[in-house]
Amino acid sequence: MLTPAWTNSLKQNPLPGLREFGDPALLYFTRRDFLDDHVGDIEQLWDQPEVKQILTKQHPEGYWAYPGRGEKAHSGENYDLLQSYRMMGILIEKYGLNNTHPAIVRAAEYIFTHQSDEGDIRGIFGSQFAPHYTAGMLELLIKAGYKEDSRIKIAFKWFQNTRQTDGGWAWPLRSARVSYQLAIKYDAPVHSDYTKPFSHALTGFVIRAYAAHPDYQNSVIAGQAGRLLKSRFFRQDKYPDRRGVVYWFKFSYPFWWLNLLTALDSLSQLGFEADDPDIHRGLNWFLENQLPGGFWPTGYEKGNQAASNQAWVALAICRVLKRFSKE
């Protein structure tokens, strides 16, 4: 196996470990993305056991039911929408399902039925805005083949209109200092106090949607938000949610909340360069913290999915390192 040049700065080449891990989907993407192998059509992954297991639980209306929803959700909260986002993440990111598959079409239409006239996807928090989950679902829909859909463009317009004055985003309930327990009972959403500072935890979520769309990657809005995000590397957030520095180093795949990996993944697609001082500091963390065997710590080292998560996280890290190397 030829050794790609971008691996030279690492303590150990992670690609052999990815090839030998034993996951057919992981092997497919490793061969496709790093080894230039002819791997065939992505549809070959659609019959994997995990895909079949997930699809058997999809309701005809396109959603997946949230486990224990009756016990955990307040009145008005639609946790089925949250669970659908989670399941779509697995199907799209790990197995490459797209809008040629009927399950993705049904799930996409279910999500779009929760899009407001303004453009956001609403319901997880009742009447309240959920800019982070809106962006996460937008990212997946774009990757699944909906980038030209007019409903996607409306959502980006909403993001353009709901930025803080500094150019980032914040969860309105936090910036407006309104209790969630009260707001969940409101009939109308609480709007942000746009004069308050951005949240890097939430802004990092939003720019993933921008990074996923070729028409928005190089926008002024994406560039400004990217500069704000990288300026906050290794620092506490301005708001209580996931404030601690530790969250920069909690990695999972498919991506969920902001961390150093998701940030660099987005910034690598928004035109930022490896010699930028902030980017350089971020990349150095991965160079310095590689484990024996070639993978990286994830912050989620316990549980029966820990080893699989670590391997998929390593794949995502390799993609970032390759992009910044421009190989």
Asked if pLDDT for residue 73 goes beyond 80, the answer is: no
* pLDDT tens by residue, 125-168: 999 999 999 999 999 999 999 999 999 999 999 999 999 999 99
Report residue 270 CA to chain centroid gap: 15
pLDDT of residue 3: 72
* pLDDT tens by residue, 180-209: 999 999 999 999 999 999 999 999 999 999
Alpha helices in the chain (DSSP H): 15-19, 24-34, 49-56, 69-72, 79-89, 95, 102-112, 131-141, 150-161, 172-175, 180-183, 200-212, 220-230, 260-269, 277-288, 306-325
Q: How confident is the model at residue 4 (pLDDT cuts 50, 70, 90)?
A: confident
pLDDT of residue 159: 98
Asked if pLDDT for residue 321 goes beyond 50, the answer is: yes
State the Cα–Cα distance between residues 110 and 101, nearest whole angstrom.
15
Could you tell me the pTM of the whole model? Answer: 0.95
Percent of the chain residues topping a pLDDT of 90: 93
Q: What is the mean pLDDT of residues 249-275?
A: 97
Give the residue extent of every domain in the chain. 1-40+248-327
pLDDT of residue 69: 58
Nearest to 90 by CA among 143, 125, 54: 54
